[in-house]
A and B are shown apart, each in its own frame.
Chain A
Amino acid sequence: MNDDDPGSGKGNDWRAWLRQASGIAEELYFGRYRATIARARRDEEDLFMLLVFSEMMGVPNPASYYTLELQPLLLERFHDWHRRMGMERSPLDHFRCC
């Protein structure tokens, strides 16, 4: 968000001003709820993580053929996820991230 973007060139002054006003409005709109919305999104993602890794924890998942493909992509977030879920160590036998 470029709310301190200086105007470049005289002709573009009003455009820069408009961009700056937009930036301020955006910051005013999103700033206050950034945390709440990020948390809500994280909750949704946590559920998704559970679906993707459910087979490994013994929960049958009819879509596992497809979710298996996602596992490497989500591996980066795996450590944060299991810690958030209250498990200090990786709950899976097959791979340990910590």
Chain B
Amino acid sequence: MKPKLKIVSSQKGAPAARAILEVEGLSKGFATNTNGAGRILVLNDVGLTVRKGEMICIVGRSGCGKSTLLNILAGFLSPDRGCVRLGGRPVDRPAPDRCVVFQEDALFPWLTVRENIAFGLKVRAMSRQEKEREVDRFLALVGLTEFGSYLPAEISGGMKQRVALARVLILQPEVLLMDEPFAALDAQTREEMQDLLLHLWAKLAHSIVFVTHDVGEAVLLADRVLLFEKAPGRVKEEIAIDLPRPREKDTERYYALCRAITSQMKRA
């Protein structure tokens, strides 16, 4: 049986009522040589909306501009045209209301797991005990209570990403931006991390923008999948994933959705 794919036009956008993150007409080009003579367009008129508590996955082949989009959302890059609004306010610089979990290991190697998680709290007006308690809570949430005093060099890749997750969740961002965070992990660890993310998401109810090139991962995690087109990058298709949660990977519906998106992706 063919699965029913809900294809929503990316141009119209979702109703802005409960939208937390809005992106409109975003374009970004890069100079191909240093004097700025040649430019290539990486993002062309990208628009999307993330609702409160929603998880969207941006899927596309490498080089389609999905990381550039995430960097703009985070405020690391500024767009040539268009705008990003978080809760109605324009976004123009990095801030703890939009935190990133990077693909690569981005922990501070001279700080212990505990100190890494506590890093962003330093500037907050909280008592020492309050901070310690928060760090304990998030260490426990990512299952690293025993490893607080370890240095990043002493723990595994999966554990590092748990720390990376904890150090941003502790800041209670309005939107969590994830840039292929599990791509460098082995298959088993990746599944553990996906479960952990879903568990934390159910508990803390963040809005999440998750970038991946792994269609299976997107179908497992997302409420909506945005399929990115390459060169210049833009949203080609928006697919609502209506699988009930908790989701099983080993089902006909799951595979059907994966197949459908993969074939769309090949045409992209």
Q: Are A and B co-members of a single complex?
A: no
Q: Which residues of B are in contact with A by a Cβ distance under 8 Å?
A: none
